[in-house]
Amino acid sequence: MGIRIGPSRGRRSGMPTSIPGKIFASLFFLIFFAAGTGFLLMMISELTGQLAQYSWTETPAVIEVSELEEDREKENPYLFTVRYRYEVEGESYVSDRYQRNDSRTREHGEVASLVDRYPPGEAVTCYVNPSDPAEAVLEQPAVGDWGPLAAFLLLPLVFVGIGLGGVYFTWRAGPTKGTAENDAAVSIGTANNARNGKRALAGFFLIFTLFGGIFPVMFFIIPAINVWQAQNWQAIDCTILSSSVGVHRGSDSTTYSIDIEYEYEVDGRTYRSTQYDFMGNVTSSGQSGKQAVVDDHPVGSTAQAYCDPDDPGNAVLNRDFTTGIWLGALTLVFPIVGIGGLIGMFVSQRRQAAAGGLGSVAGGGVSSSFAGASSSYASGGAATTTGPVTLKATEPRWVTFIFLLLFAVAWNGFVHGLMVPDMGYGFFSGIFILIGAAVALGTIYQAMRLFNPTVVMQVSSANPRLGDPLEIQWQLKGNTQRVKHLTVTLEGQEHAEYRRGTNTHTDTHTFIEQVLADRTDPISILRDSAIGEVPAGAMHSFEADHNKVVWVLRVHGVIPFWPDLNQSFAITVLPRELTHA
């Protein structure tokens, strides 16, 4: 038995301590780092190119050619073909770019409106790159072109931070030996790291809530609103011009889409549309269902479409809720997980505070060799429990597993159910696939922890006084033979909350770390007891508005090639009993 002033790094953080465990954890976090970095660089490059156009020079131009180009061999058959002439410093230039990115689309109406807007001979304004006058565009990017990209910029930063932070905390060295003052200083630094880690996790959940909410807006809420609004649209007759099942072959899979084009007339003007429903003709697996739709709309047949009375170019064949919209509802899991994570952290903090003040006790337990150690304490108002008692673990392992499982199902369901079928396998979707793989690995890791042995911890009293002996007895249940090294540690921590400017901070200092048991013998690991003493000169359990002192028993078991066993049990330490002359 020994006492240390200062923290034990790694074990309390939940990080693996064995070399195989650290390698597994490092690979997990490196996937996050690599995916986040690649995604971040790609987003920065695209965003920089979009925003740079706002500094381009406005220059008069004249439209020479403006027409709709149609290519049935392409997935997006319509292209706005434009050519305009402009002058820079007396030199004439010609450009054929409407926007920086390709303006090819599936919607006939979009291109037709541009042809009407930019007729040949029209005097217009173009935007010229001052560093390369030969580069010009007719339209600068709208906020909708780069706004979502800027909003998502924080998302890869979170993954980069998780990757780097995870590798660092997995491999960082244990505390150095030194004076109590130095060890206490190390403790404060470690506590600050833990506090920063909680803030980073809270920030991750907040970002997940805010930016994860974009997915259900795009793939469920907006289509659902469109369906609701379309119930009042005008029913019109249309003629099917083309009807087929689009086949989109990727490197590893083939997806399908409903490729229908129809023509209709409103107020004497002819319009075309390729919009079948409000999911934007996304591609997905399942050819038979799409073939059935195509069979119901043969070329040359007449069908009923629904036209927006405020925008005749906007029409749809199917204004009902489709399977794609209901699949989009799965993305609601993203903000739900984010909000749930924030609520979970809040509830966990409240429970830890309650556990620090009163302890967590349940009656019953294993047979005791110290049944005669029962006593009754008067604690000046604090709740007391006579021993022996069995403690409850303060950190249920299934909570983390359920969170990761929900996240993994939501993320991978979105990626493989919506993103990959629509975009195919490429660099962009590959980043999301890597993130999904990393989360799946984390879920598997937490699932492995569920098969770890559980600890039944019994103490002579859940409310020992300072200076009193504390006898513990434990029993492992489950796959106990895999645990090769077990330690039980009594820790006292001080939590101090203070304000710095307008922000509230909490410092945590581990002032006592007393090893009660250190076992390598298989029989002693399975079931044994130990006796320690609550240090007489330490601070008892205490809780006020801004300060509290908590005591816990921590059990750490080393399991080779498997996640380590980590369980914590809260106790309440009472002040020394007053003696009267």
Between 496 and 82, where is the model more confident? 82
Token pair for 358: 């009163």
With a pLDDT cut of 70, the percent of the chain lying above it is 73
Q: What is the pLDDT of residue 354?
A: 54
Q: What is the pLDDT of residue 60?
A: 95
What is the rounded CA–CA span in Å between residue 123 and residue 61? 6
Average pLDDT value for residue range 355-364: 39
pLDDT-based confidence at residue 580 (cuts at 50, 70, 90): low
Between 397 and 91, where is the model more confident? 91
Q: What is the pLDDT of residue 190?
A: 43
Q: What is the pLDDT of residues 428-487, one digit of tens each?
A: 667 777 877 888 888 888 888 888 888 888 888 878 888 888 898 998 988 888 899 999
With a pLDDT cut of 90, the percent of the chain lying above it is 16
Q: What is the pLDDT of residues 319-336, one digit of tens each?
A: 988 777 777 777 777 777
Q: What is the pLDDT of residue 280?
A: 65
What is the rounded CA–CA span in Å between residue 36 and residue 156? 4
HEC sequence for 11-34: CCCCCCCCHHHHHHHHHHHHHHHH
Q: Answer yes or no: is pLDDT of 140 > 60.
A: yes
Contacts of residue 561, defined as CB under 8 A and 6 or more positions apart, other chains included, come to: 18, 20, 21
Q: What is the pLDDT of residue 485?
A: 92
Q: What is the pLDDT of residue 68?
A: 87
What is the rounded CA–CA span in Å between residue 388 and residue 463? 10
pLDDT-based confidence at residue 565 (cuts at 50, 70, 90): confident
Token pair for 415: 């990626």
Q: Answer yes or no: is pLDDT of 12 > 80.
A: no
Q: Answer yes or no: is pLDDT of 53 > 80.
A: yes
Q: Answer yes or no: is pLDDT of 237 > 90.
A: yes
- Asked which of 182-196, 287-301, 368-382 is least confident by mean pLDDT, the reply is 368-382
Other beta carbons within 10 angstroms of residue 440's beta carbon come to 18
Q: What is the pLDDT of residue 11?
A: 42
Q: What is the pLDDT of residue 299?
A: 92
- Asked which of 13-22, 45-54, 268-277, 543-552 is least confident by mean pLDDT, the reply is 13-22
Using alpha carbons, select from 131, 134, 137, 70 the residue that is nearest to residue 104.
70
- Cis status, amide bond into 388, omega within 30 of 0: yes
Q: Answer yes or no: is pLDDT of 389 > 90.
A: no
pLDDT-based confidence at residue 295 (cuts at 50, 70, 90): very high
Q: Give the amino acid at 499.
A: R
E-state strands within 284-412: 302-308, 311-316, 361-362, 389-391
Residue 453 φ then ψ, to 5°: -60, 155
Instruction: Look up tokens 């010009």; give the residue.
Output: 136
Determine if residue 206 is left, alpha or beta; phi over 0 gives left, psi from -120 to 50 gives alpha, anything else beta.
Answer: alpha
Mean of the per-residue pLDDT values of the chain = 76
- Are 556 and 487 in contact, with CB atoms under 8 Å apart? yes
Taking CA atoms, 31 is separated from 26, 67, 169, 410, in Å, by 9, 47, 16, 19
- Asked which of 105-109, 231-235, 374-378 is least confident by mean pLDDT, the reply is 374-378
